[in-house]
Structure 1
Amino acid sequence: MAKYFDVHPENPQRRIINQVVEIVRGGGLIVYPTDSCFALGCALGNRDGIDRIRSIRQLDERHHFTLMCEDFAQLGHFVRIDNAVFRSVKAATPGSYTFILPATKEAPRRLLHPRKKTVGVRIPDHVVAQAILAELGEPLLSSTLLLPEEDKPLTQGWEIKDRLDHVVDAVIDSGDCGTEPTTVVDFSGGGAELVRLGAGDPSRFE
């Protein structure tokens, strides 16, 4: 059974955040809130966690996982970014955007798009997500919690606990999340290509 943590949305309890991070470090798979919707997350080197996310969401090898980063400095370790792209991404973070960029050698190979060698990265504008990332000290390997054959992500922690109780290790609930995933912008070809319209305002990249 998954552990259930009720976290204050503005002042996350440090004791609970520490427990969540210990689960992640111990190889666990968590569901946590972001500024767009709930996400599945595990440690970068957690191969079993990756496989579990693929199984829950029924994803193929072409799916772009996201590295959820605490800040821009951390993001820069895992993707290559030139000056023009840097300015565009910097201006939109933190926020409800995922950026697809060429990966550096620091990015785990299992996470890369098999042909493009790219990876998705983002910096969330969410107090609880940021508290988890700050305590963890590295990105969370993440994917939007959108179940197969469903049009909308789950928005309530209790429902997630009920439905995924035996396939995840913890559910972190700080209140309802939104139903729109991030806006996805692909910079791997040089210019900005809008891949998915979502919670982030796309007009700055059009």
Structure 2
Amino acid sequence: MAKFFRIFEENPNPREITKVVNILKEGGLIIYPTDTVYGLGCDITNVKALERIARIKGIKLEKANFSFVCHDLSNLSDYVKQIDTGTFKILKRALPGPYTFVLPGSRTLPNPFKKKKTVGIRIPKNAIALEIVRQLGNPIVSTSIRDEDEVLEYTTDPELILEKWGDKVDCVIDGGYGDNEPSTIIDLSGDEPMVLREGKGSLEIF
């Protein structure tokens, strides 16, 4: 059964965050809060953990469109080709926030993603998620935990998430009730920004 940590977003307990980071470093899977829906994530550098997430989602790892959750924009060049000033201004204006930006992938992508032309970058406005990634020292690869119940779509109660996912993952974080609206996805890999999914993030800032 997964470990269950209650962490407060207003003031995330560093010891609890360290416990979560250690689980990630050991190849564990976590369910954690973001500024939108709860996410399922693992360390981007751990291939076995990445394969576990792909299996849970029922897809091949090389075909998976997972997001890279980063702490800030400082290490973007490790995962994304050089971007122009206009693109960088959009990212700076929108992040941290409830957006996923699709950007052209760099040649230095981790092995499982080497063939990907684009990657989705996320910097959620959630202190728990950001602190986990900051302490880990590299992004976590993430996907949302959709619910089979189409009325619910996304489970928002961490205790219900634990009930359903407790035997599939290594840790569930209770960071309060989650949202039930996913991030807005914007493709910035072409000549013009293109909205792929309208979610929580407002389009007015563009």
Q: 1:203 to 1:58 in 2, by over 3 A?
A: farther
Q: Which amino acid aligns with 2:54?
A: R
The answer as to whether partners of 1:57 and 1:148 remain within 8 angstroms in 2 is no
Aligned to 2:101: 99
Aligned to 1:42: 42
The size of the alignment, in residue pairs, is 203
Aligned to 2:173: 172
Q: Which amino acid aligns with 1:103?
A: G
Q: Which amino acid aligns with 1:47?
A: V
State TM-score, norm by structure 2: 0.91
Q: Which amino acid aligns with 1:177?
A: G
> How far 1:150 moved relative to its partner?
4.0
The answer as to whether partners of 1:66 and 1:119 remain within 8 angstroms in 2 is yes
Q: 1:149 to 1:82 in 2, by over 3 A?
A: farther
The answer as to whether partners of 1:65 and 1:111 remain within 8 angstroms in 2 is no
Structure 2 stretches of 5 or more lacking a match?
Answer: none
Aligned to 1:2: 2
Q: Which amino acid aligns with 2:4?
A: Y
Please give the alpha-carbon distance, in whole angstroms, between the structure 1 residues aligned to 2:29 and 2:203: 31
Q: Which amino acid aligns with 2:74?
A: A
Aligned to 1:52: 52
Aligned to 1:185: 186
> How far 1:148 moved relative to its partner?
4.8
Aligned to 1:120: 120
What are the Cα deviations for residues 142-184 of structure 1, in whole angstroms up to 9, with x where unaligned?
1111145646111111111110111100001110010111100
Please give the alpha-carbon distance, in whole angstroms, between the structure 1 residues aligned to 2:150 and 2:134: 32
The answer as to whether partners of 1:99 and 1:120 remain within 8 angstroms in 2 is yes
Q: Which amino acid aligns with 1:54?
A: A
> How far 1:45 moved relative to its partner?
2.2
> How far 1:8 moved relative to its partner?
1.5
The answer as to whether partners of 1:58 and 1:148 remain within 8 angstroms in 2 is no
Within the alignment, does 1:131 sit opposite 2:131 as a pair?
Answer: yes
Q: 1:52 to 1:32 in 2, by over 3 A?
A: same
Within the alignment, does 1:90 sit opposite 2:72 as a pair?
Answer: no
Please give the alpha-carbon distance, in whole angstroms, between the structure 2 residues aligned to 1:92 and 1:55: 32
The share of aligned pairs that are identical, in percent, is 39
Q: Which amino acid aligns with 2:11?
A: N
Q: 1:67 to 1:201 in 2, by over 3 A?
A: same
Please give the alpha-carbon distance, in whole angstroms, between the structure 1 residues aligned to 2:150 and 2:57: 10
Please give the alpha-carbon distance, in whole angstroms, between the structure 1 residues aligned to 2:8 and 2:188: 35
Please give the alpha-carbon distance, in whole angstroms, between the structure 1 residues aligned to 2:58 and 2:148: 7
